[in-house]
Amino acid sequence: MRKRLVRYLLTLLGIGAAGAAVLLFIFMRPLPVEVARPAENVPIEVFGLGTIEARILSRIGFEVGAALVELNTDHGDWVKKDDVLARLHSAEQEARVAKARAGVVNAEAAVKMAEAAAGKARAVLAQKKQTNERKQALVARQTVSVEAADEAQMEEDVAAAELAVALSEIEVAEAALEDAKAQYDYELVLLDHHTLRAPYDAIVVQRHKELGSVLSPGEALFTLVAPETIWALAYVDEARAGDIQVGQPAVVRLRSLPRQMLKGHVTRIDIESDRVSEERRVYIACDQCPERFHLGEQAEVFITTAILGTALLLPETAVTGFDGTHGTVWTVEDGELHRRKVTFGHRTLDSRLEIVEGLPDGARVVSVLRPGLREARPAKVTGEAAP
């Protein structure tokens, strides 16, 4: 019985020793790990999702209301500045212009009549003045009576007053002429408002009305776009938008052309962010715009904010406790594992973080977390000889 018990205890002791050896081998043997290696010329990009828009987009129409009698362009047409796009029925306004023109002719005739009357009054004054001078000389020699001399003086004064009235009538007539001309110019302006011209070189995006429609003042007839002002409006998360600056290069990928990457640059950053979505509006002007564009089309924007010459990048999945700036990583130092709190800089689109501070000299950073990681455990870098 005692021998059986001894054999049983020896068996248990052997099993325990074997188990301890196995556990010791598993937990104390060097753990193979993968480490991050420095990368060169790493682009730091910021992603934004948005739409194709135009900086200059105009919904134009007539400043007056009338029936539409002429349309010279339609959707998709290219127009030059001052091209006639449409006309309104203008017979009534043309009649007003003719009436105003007649008013100018009448005012010009009135000025001529006033000038002629002034000339006559001037001649009468000269005659009365000569007569008065003779009678004043004769009264001194007592050739004519004093009453006759006084009457001659009065007639000269009356003639002078009539000349002054005639000159005033010229001024009144000239003022009436200027008023008639202003009215004529005003009616011409109103007549010109019946013709709609292109305000700039543009593409017609939409025609809103057809022939015969009666338009109200200010009602939109065409939507125009200046093709050279096409840009992409991208919405970028505020957490990633801090390094974006005007002039930085960018590429735009349209939803309809997923295989093409259109080059551009940041041309404007809105001062005001969206308070609801917490996004910043960034505008990308294309360097080589496509021949065709569609306003409102979805676009993916990639903005290059920096190029890292040499950087140590670590996947975010290999970081614990990441708060946007700091986090804890596993390192291999002298063949052993250690935990280090480090500081991060840039972040790539594929969620890799740039380590900028916190690593001891010679430390290698574990890039893939796996079971068995613990402080001071021996480790072996995959693909390298054991230290």
Query: Domain residues of the chain, as ranges?
Result: 46-55+228-307, 59-88+195-224, 91-192
Cα-based distances in Å from 178 to 102, 113, 174, 361:
13, 16, 6, 91
337-351 pLDDT, tens per residue?
999 999 999 999 888
The confidence score (pLDDT) of residue 97 equals: 94
pTM for this entry: 0.70
State the fold for domain 46-55+228-307: Elongation Factor Tu (Ef-tu); domain 3 (2.40.30)
State residue 149's pLDDT score: 73
Angle between helices 146-192 and 91-140 (to 10 degrees): 170
Cα 11 to its chain centre, rounded Å, is 85
CA–CA separation, 315 vs 13, rounded Å? 46
**Same fold yes or no, 46-55+228-307 and 59-88+195-224:** no
Residue 77 exposed, middle or buried by CB count within 10 Å (0-12, 13-18, 19+): middle
Residue with token string 């005739």: 109
The SS3 of residue 287 is coil
CA–CA separation, 174 and 189 (whole Å): 23
DSSP character at residue 35: B
d(C-alpha 99, C-alpha 7), whole Å: 134
Query: What is the phi/psi pair of residue 78, to 5°?
Result: -95, 135
Note every long-range contact of 6-11, with CB atoms under 8 Å and residues 24 or more positions apart, other chains counting: none
Q: What is the token pair recorded at 143?
A: 């050739």
| pLDDT the model gives residue 7 | 64
Specify the pLDDT at position 257.
87
Helix and strand totals (H; E) in the chain = 3, 21
| CATH fold for domain 59-88+195-224 | OB fold (Dihydrolipoamide Acetyltransferase, E2P) (2.40.50)
pLDDT in the model for residue 385: 44
- pLDDT at position 159: 83
Phi, psi of 138 (to 5 degrees): -70, -35
C-alpha 57/C-alpha 191 separation (Å) is 26
Q: What is the pLDDT of residue 24?
A: 47
For the stretch 355-369, pLDDT in tens is 999 899 889 999 898
- Across the chain, which has 387 residues, the per-10-residue mean pLDDT values are 61 61 55 89 93 94 94 93 95 93 94 90 86 76 74 82 88 93 94 95 94 93 93 92 93 90 94 91 88 89 93 92 90 90 91 91 89 87 59
Predicted local confidence at residue 264, as pLDDT = 93
Contact between 227 and 55 under an 8 Å Cβ cutoff? The reply is no
Contact call for residues 262 and 251 (beta carbons, < 8 A): yes
Q: What is the mean pLDDT of the chain?
A: 87
265-279 pLDDT tens trace: 999 999 999 889 899
| Predicted local confidence at residue 10, as pLDDT | 61
Q: What angle do CA 100, 105, 111 make, to 5 degrees?
A: 125
DSSP per-residue letters across 187-206 = HHHHHHTTEEE-SSSEEEEE
